[in-house]
Structure formats: structure tokens, C-alpha cells
Amino acid sequence: MSGGGEFNFIRQRLRPLTRGHPAALDLMDDAAILTPRPGESLVLASDMLIETVHFLSSDAPEVMAARAFGANLSDLAAMGAEPAGYLMAISWPKSWSDAQRDGFVAGLNAAAGDIPLIGGDTTSADAPLSVSITMLGFVPEGAGLTRSAAQAGHDVWVSGTIGDAGLGLDIARGKLDKQEHLLSRYQYPAARTELGQALRGLASACIDISDGMVADAGHIASASGVAIELEAAMIPLSTPVLHWLEGEGDEGLKRLVSSGDDYELLFTAPHDQAAKVLALSGRHGCEISWVGRVAEGEGVSVIAAEGDAMSFQSGGFTHF
């Protein structure tokens, strides 16, 4: 950590977030030192979130922190890693008050739970808030989940429910009436870290839904060199989303499977592992739903309830 005027802030506000972890060196140095246990690999994910792009300027600082942390932690969950700590590099807007900075730190503190801050950097600029969190986790060597081992014939599964955060964003923007569940799915994303770890040795490919269910399934399809077919009727939806969908029809469903930020895990597994996958359902704070299958080919298709196939190509729709 560096930056003249920032030292008191680091000592008083950020040091408690280290939870006393030795890797942090009390935030007195410019780097952290972390020692993995023997036989373990380190998983590292680094995201960049910018006000106006990833946050609304009307989001409370606590919400910005929760969203930044959740997005990064979710990347780790998708690799099946056990969280070990994080570095945060942040540029505060010069216009922010002390109370806003404190709000951000409070949000980070709440989101991190017992995961220690071990290093980073703070600065300030005449620019929108810009925050990069590097999240670190451990996996047994060779056991990290990736996107590239899905095979034709495997099942496709998803945790939790889809589309809540997208509608939550609409609520935050004042475009939709407030519903607490949906808004909180947008504001306080919960990464599926326990489920991710439980999927080691079980899932063949895994990704977290940050860009949207179809786009993220497409990342697995592309990395694994396969096609993914999703069954629209099997996509798990929460009660408030089902209510919203009643007035929207087919276009509404397209909207849900294209909206990001749910931070659920979408994963593939060999068909003979289905019983084991189902046995995990409900155990880690979320249901797990079968949503489709892996096939030969490329791209993602969504088979509508009526039997039509909707094809989604790099973010755009082709209905045929």
C-alpha cells in the first residue's frame, strides 16, 4: 500500500479487514506474502469495476463494495477454490466524503466475512470510483475447475435461480417496482463458494453467471469445443421473477437468460454423476436444477417450452 495521505486511512480503516492474517504484514509493506499448504495450488482472479459501468452512481458505497467483492469471489467459486484472502487496489473519487469511503469499507467488511484483506493500494483521482480486487484461493493441485472439459452427453446444471439480479438492477434504476428479494440479489451478490468446492471432481466444466446464463454457457461451449442445449422450461425462476414473467412472455424469458450478475454456478457433469449432483441440492444454501445437455457442435441454443429453438449468438438473438 502506498500514497502519502492514505496512510492513516489504511491503518485505521483497512487494517481491521486483515483479520490479523500474517500474509498481510499489517499492510505495512507494498506486497503480501502468502504460503500455500503443500500440494495446493493458488487460484487468482482479478476484476476491474468502474462506477457508471458496473455500479450505478446512485448505488450506496456499501452496495458498490458488496458488488465488487461478490463478483470476484464468484470467479473463485467457479474454479472450486477455497477463499484465502484478497488484495484491493482502489481509486476513490476526489468528490467522495469520508463517510462515503467509510461506507465502502463497511460494505467490504460485511461482504468479506472472515476472508482477510492482505494487501493492495489506494489512491484518489478526479475520476469515477475504480476498484480492482484480486481474490486468492486454494485448490488441491490439479483439482481446480475450468471451462474447458465439458463433453457431449454431459448434463448441464445451474444453482439457485436465474434473472433475479437483472430485474433487481431495473428496480435500482427506478424502472420496476421495488421487491426486496430482487433488489438484494443485485445489491448483495452471494458467491457460491461452498458449492464450488463441493463440485471438485464432480463437474467437468464450471462458470459463474456474470454476463448472463446464455453468454456464460457460451463461454463453456467455446472453451470446451461443444454445443450446449438449454431447456427453457427447466430454468429455475424465483417467485417474483415468475410473477414478472407472466406479463412478458417469450421476450421476457430471453431477457432473463441474458441478464447478468446472478453469480450462480452453471456447470456440466457426466450423466452418471447426476445422483451425486442432485444430492448436493439444498445442502449449500441453494437448489441445483438440471437445465440441459452438452452436445457435439458449437454455440448455445435454448429450446423453448413450445418446442421452438431460440439461438443466441454472441449476445444477440436469432429466432428460428
Residues 74-113 that bind its own copies (CB under 8 A): 75-76, 78-79, 81, 87-91
Query: Which residue's CB is nearer to its own copies, number 100 or number 281?
Result: 100
Q: Which residue has the cell 443485485?
A: 186
By the rule CB under 8 A, 126 interacts with its own copies: yes
By the rule CB under 8 A, 119 interacts with its own copies: yes
Q: How many CB atoms lie within 10 A of CB 107?
A: 23
Binding mask 131-150 for its own copies (x = CB under 8 A): -x-xxxx-x-x--x-xxx--
Query: Which residue's CB is nearer to its own copies, number 216 or number 238?
Result: 216
Of 189, 81, 54, residue with least CA distance to 135: 81
Contact window for its own copies (CB under 8 A) among 108-116, 149-157, 219-227, 298-306 = 219-227
Residues ≥6 apart with Cβ < 8 Å to 91: 122, 123, 124, 125, 127, 129, 130, 131
CA distances from 182 to 158, 167, 189, 239, 241 (A): 18, 6, 11, 10, 8
Selected binder of its own copies within 2, 57, 239, 313 (CB under 8 A):
2
As given in the structure block, the three cell numbers for residue 157 are: 446444471
Query: Which residue's CB is nearer to its own copies, number 115 or number 118?
Result: 118
Query: CA 188, CA 262: separation in Å to the nearest integer?
Result: 10
Contact window for its own copies (CB under 8 A) among 102-110, 115-123, 174-182, 242-250 = 115-123
Query: Which residue's CB is nearer to its own copies, number 10 or number 162?
Result: 10
Q: Please report, as residue ranges, which positions from 53 to 72 form the binding site for its own copies (by CB under 8 A).
A: 53-54
Task: Give the 3-state secondary structure of residue 199.
Answer: coil
By the rule CB under 8 A, 122 interacts with its own copies: yes
CA distances from 49 to 72, 92, 266 (A): 10, 12, 22
Contact window for its own copies (CB under 8 A) among 114-122, 187-195, 274-282, 288-296 = 114-122
As given in the structure block, the three cell numbers for residue 150 are: 465439458
CB of 210 to its own copies, least distance (A): 6
CB of 104 to its own copies, least distance (A): 14
CB of 231 to its own copies, least distance (A): 24
CB of 52 to its own copies, least distance (A): 6
Is 155 exposed, middle or buried (CB count within 10 Å of its CB: 0-12, 13-18, 19+)?
buried
Q: Which residue has the cell 436469432?
A: 318
Residue 105 and residue 3 in contact, taking contact as beta carbons nearer than 8 Å? no
By the rule CB under 8 A, 130 interacts with its own copies: yes
By the rule CB under 8 A, 42 interacts with its own copies: yes
CB of 5 to its own copies, least distance (A): 8
Selected binder of its own copies within 17, 43, 111, 265 (CB under 8 A):
43
Residue 145 and residue 203 in contact, taking contact as beta carbons nearer than 8 Å? yes
First to last CA, the chain: 54
